[in-house]
Structure 1
């Protein structure tokens, strides 16, 4: 389930970026109750996008800011509590990684859902039922 961490150059060192991304991965698995799940763990993927300083803006001016976007199937983090928990954890992770160079007010998160059947892994389209089966180990996986 892709996570995208976007920030301006110079805000976090390469090591801080990687550590924050790894912690975002752990947070997603934790709030989903799927830590260590054989199907989900390798499918929490994503990217770290580092943009030129002038390309991160608010009110028409460059700012130090960070964005966490999470793309999921409709069934994931379906409860308001799970969404809230991920957003709070994501904000805490990025704020800690920035070590005082970024305030919570400059960290934005969002969660985007793919419609049922529009989730693809390794060339296979998964319905919500297929994903639940794969996560719980109750359905046969195509190779």
Structure 2
């Protein structure tokens, strides 16, 4: 379940980047109720995109800003409450990591869903039923 954190160069130290990504991972697992689930834990992956400062824009101008994108199968975080909770937690994580160098209103998050059957892990296509089976199988 890829997470992409995009930030301008210099906003977060390498240590703060790693801590923020770990906390975003924890937020996904917590909100989905899957803390400790081996299948889900090993499949929360992602990247941190550190861009030149002039390539991170707000209103068309360079700005201190951060963007969090979470990609999920359509069965995950499907309720409005789960979406709200993840977005609140993601914003809190990035704001804390920035240590006062980033305004809260310059943190954007979004959740993108893959259609049923369009989720791939290790070259295998998973539909919603396959994912549920993999998740519940690793919980057993």
Q: TM-score range by the shorter chain?
A: over 0.9
TM-score (norm 2): 0.97
Name the CA distance, whole Å, in 2 between partners of 1:30 and 1:60: 35
Name the CA distance, whole Å, in 2 between partners of 1:55 and 1:84: 28
After superposition, where does 1:1-143 map in structure 2 within 5 Å? 1-137=1-137
Residue-by-residue CA offset, 1:26-45 (whole Å, 9 max, x unaligned): 00000000000011000000
Shift of 1:60: 2.1
SS across alignment from 2:102:
coil
Residue-by-residue CA offset, 1:104-130 (whole Å, 9 max, x unaligned): 100000000000000000000000000
Shift of 1:59: 1.9
Name the CA distance, whole Å, in 2 between partners of 1:57 and 1:28: 26
Give the unaligned 5+ runs of structure 1.
Answer: 139-143
Name the CA distance, whole Å, in 1 between partners of 2:126 and 2:22: 25
Runs of 4+ off more than 6 Å: none
Residue-by-residue CA offset, 1:43-66 (whole Å, 9 max, x unaligned): 000000000000001122100000
Name the CA distance, whole Å, in 1 between partners of 2:79 and 2:123: 28
Name the CA distance, whole Å, in 1 between partners of 2:47 and 2:17: 10
Give the unaligned 5+ runs of structure 2.
Answer: none
Shift of 1:76: 0.2
Please tell me the root mean square deviation across aligned C-alpha atoms, in Å: 0.8
Shift of 1:18: 0.6
